[in-house]
A = this chain, B = another copy of it.
């Protein structure tokens, strides 16, 4: 589902049904992802960088209300006069907003209230789409499409935030039982070689892309090689066993400070028990599978591992040029495993399993222009202090991903499904 495709479909069919279908499918998946949750699970903000599940449900809804219904549906009145204040995430030009670190302090509106809010907005969005004139309303189609990609981003965040919450409980709650899919062995590690040259980077504009993937531009790359799969837990065991977390010379200075202050000795959610590593997963407390890609590591850990291995992290440009022509397939949200796993695939696991840290700072591409108006705050204002990750994870919807996609997080972040692929 992407804006140009939809626009074409609209023109062809003479009605908006494909877009409505997409809308219902994406919005419905969000609800489905919440089905294992108790009401209590919707409420809590387990860390400042996380949000309560009910906040995700409301914020994504507000996005449609604020950027579509309010300006574009004649006569629309907001569902509740305070929801704009409560569920605006960070759009300064839209108005003031409730402080992010306090999102977990609101018991009201209740979960039920928020589902009512969703239904109300859904009804009106469908009405809006039905009124669309495909010739003239390209911008509206684009905004619906953007809203759905936005919703998909929050589907992944919802899962990682729920995981973070459940992992805090000594009761070790299970979000969903293990899928029962038989576990593969990791593919052998090969090196994929790429010659030096000028490469075109960024979106071609043929499918939906965020503004941060534009404009397409040229980058010169020296010859390089990338590993044929991500680093595995088994390889990471060796790093730990070799004293990786105690050896300052492997770490960036800021990373070493973080390791020391936070007392990190393993990836997030890992615990040693009877000389064996276990970790919390969305299917509860499980042994760490040595064959699966290592996950829930910060940039600092990815970088230290690479240094220890005598290799380095790829740049985002190396990664994109290597992945540009590969099919977007792998262990994504659609496979419903909700955890990285070993799997030889034709795309070398470039897509799915874990977001792969690159060594590239999240910066604007040359000539970058953010979207006009308040939507310009979507991506551009975060272009400092963060690093780019590529490739999607086991919690990313397949239809949300592409080779040019740039995800970005702060170097110490670990709660996303984050891992690494070596370069040299």
Contact = CB atoms under 8 A, between A and B. Distances in A.
A268 B236 CA distance: 43
B411 A385 contact: yes
A359 B367 CA distance: 13
Interface of A: 38-44, 46, 54, 82, 85-86, 90, 92-93, 98, 102, 104-111, 165-166, 168-171, 173, 198, 217-220, 222, 248-249, 251-256, 299-300, 303, 312, 359-361, 363-364, 366-367, 377, 381-385, 387, 411
Contact of A43 (B43, B253, B383): B43
A41 B41 CA distance: 12
B222 A98 contact: no
A220 B198 contact: yes
A93 B381 contact: no
Copies of this chain, tallied across the complex: 4
A42 B38 CA distance: 13
7 contacts: A40-B43, A43-B43, A43-B44, A92-B249, A93-B249, A108-B173, A303-B384
What are the 10 A-B residue pairs with the smallest beta carbon separation, nearest first? A361-B361, A92-B248, A40-B107, A220-B220, A39-B39, A41-B107, A253-B381, A43-B43, A108-B173, A38-B110
Given A92-B248, A222-B366, A253 B40 contact: no
A107 B166 contact: yes
A251 B85 contact: no
Contacts of A299: 384
A384 B366 contact: no
Contacts of A220: 198, 218-220
Given A256-B381, A359-B364, 6 more contacts: A39-B110, A93-B249, A105-B165, A253-B382, A254-B382, A359-B363
Contacts of A385: 254, 385, 411
Nearest to A318: B366
Given A39-B39, A46-B105, A110-B38, A171 B82 contact: yes
